Structure 1
Amino acid sequence: MKLYDDAIAPTPRRVRMFLAEKGVDIPRVPVTIGKGEHLAESYATRVPSRRVPALELDDGTVISESVAICRYIEALHPEPNLFGSTALEQARVEMWQRRMEFELLLPFANAFRHSHPKMAALENQVPAYAAAQKQLAEQRLAMLEGDLARHPFIAGDKFSIADITAFTTLAFFPRLVGIAIDERVPQVKQWFDRIAARPSAAA
């Protein structure tokens, strides 16, 4: 297997962090999104979707969605489980993972893509859309403050893929769109600092 990976972008980091939690090492091939390397025809021949990250299996099969990659790794290496073990745990993790992806990651990512100068070459930027998405990101961050007052991890009492998605989102985007993780959201900050202290956060 080989993992096509970008060292900076948060979505590839999500897979690296997941692998680190599992103790799994997969050879990596760098693909720099900021330089447009994912758009090159040489990459498209291997990964038609041009998505990064992408996992290429030994038989040439390519998995190019980060959560799909993580699910594949979970199936190969079930412990420690990061998608839940019981039916209820799995349902809760799926619920929170989707919330973090659609309600937290997407607005932050859209605000960044439509406002940051470095994204101008890759995106038809719409400033009004960026402003609206930033507002949604701020609202979801405030909701997350309440969520984390009720349980220590995103999906409950156990660390999961939902924590990885939320952490990699908040480790990358807020400073780039002018949103602070500070004393105004103390539960989020405490949770963030705890996750940042995990060895996998360095992946």
Structure 2
Amino acid sequence: MKLYISPRAPNPRRVQMFIAEKGIAGIAEVVVEIGKDEHRSSDFRAKSPLAKVPVLELDDGRMLGETRAICSYLEGLYPEPNLMGETFEERAFIEMTDRRMEFYLFGSIANCIRHTHPGLAPLEQPQFADFGRSQGEKVREVARWLDEELSRLPFVAGERFTIADITAFCAIEFARGLMKFRPGHEGLANLQNWRDRIAERASARV
């Protein structure tokens, strides 16, 4: 299999971290340089019609896009260590939390950065600065809620590390870089402590 990624892009990092947590070997990485518009080339669009990374090329030649779908596929192939839930009930609650991290934390961070950071202007035209700033406020609302959750839970979705922690961690790291968002600097000690614990995992260094 081949995994098409782009350096510093957060969604490919989510899959890379998932792979590392699983200890999966043998998936070749192919770099697609977003900054050079390689994701918009006809060759890459044949693999990813909407010009998005990551994409997993399967051994039979099919292309699987979308981060959550790729992780679900890999979870099926490599069920241990389990990251998405053992029972239907656990899977449902982990997915609920993962979706919250993806839609309300990650999504708002991405919108804030894409609409306020000058370096992202080539990728986001037109930029709407007011919208971007409002999304930054929503990031902090979600972060305050998550900080409260982490006052009683060791991990984002409960008592163990799951895919929801990967999504939240990659989101926070993306915000650290381009939003200069540091939970500890904003009084969110639980979120900062959780971030620091996850950063110590080997998978966080991929």
Write the distance in 1 (CA, Å) between the matches of 2:204 and 2:20: 8
**Structure 2 residue 199 is matched with structure 1 residue 196:** yes
1:101-120 counterparts in 2 under 5 A? 101-120=102-121
Q: CA deviation at 1:92?
A: 1.1
* 8 A Cα contact 1:138 1:179, kept in partner: no
Matched residue of 2:184: which SS?
A: coil
Which AA in structure 2 matches 1:128?
A: D
Report the equivalent of 1:165: 167
* 8 A Cα contact 2:3 2:54, kept in partner: yes
Which AA in structure 2 matches 1:10?
A: P
Report the equivalent of 2:66: 65
Which AA in structure 2 matches 1:194?
A: R
Write the distance in 2 (CA, Å) between the matches of 1:67 and 1:80: 17
Deviation per CA, 1:30-79: give whole Å up to 9, x if none. Answer: 01222221111121122222110000112211111011000000000000
Write the distance in 2 (CA, Å) between the matches of 1:143 and 1:58: 42
Report the equivalent of 2:145: 143
Question: TM (normalized to structure 1)?
Answer: 0.97
Q: CA deviation at 1:178?
A: 3.9
* 8 A Cα contact 2:15 2:71, kept in partner: yes
Matched residue of 2:59: which SS?
A: coil
* 8 A Cα contact 1:115 1:177, kept in partner: no
1:89-104 counterparts in 2 under 5 A? 89-104=90-105
Question: TM (normalized to structure 2)?
Answer: 0.95
Matched residue of 1:114: which SS?
A: helix
Measured on the aligned residues, the alpha-carbon RMSD in Å equals: 1.1
Q: Find runs of 4+ consecutive structure 1 residues off by over 4 angstroms.
A: none
Structure 1 gaps, min length 5: none
* 8 A Cα contact 2:182 2:192, kept in partner: no
Matched-pair identity in %: 46
1:28-39 counterparts in 2 under 5 A? 28-39=29-40
* 8 A Cα contact 1:18 1:161, kept in partner: yes
Structure 2 gaps, min length 5: none
Which AA in structure 2 matches 1:5?
A: I
Matched residue of 2:116: which SS?
A: coil
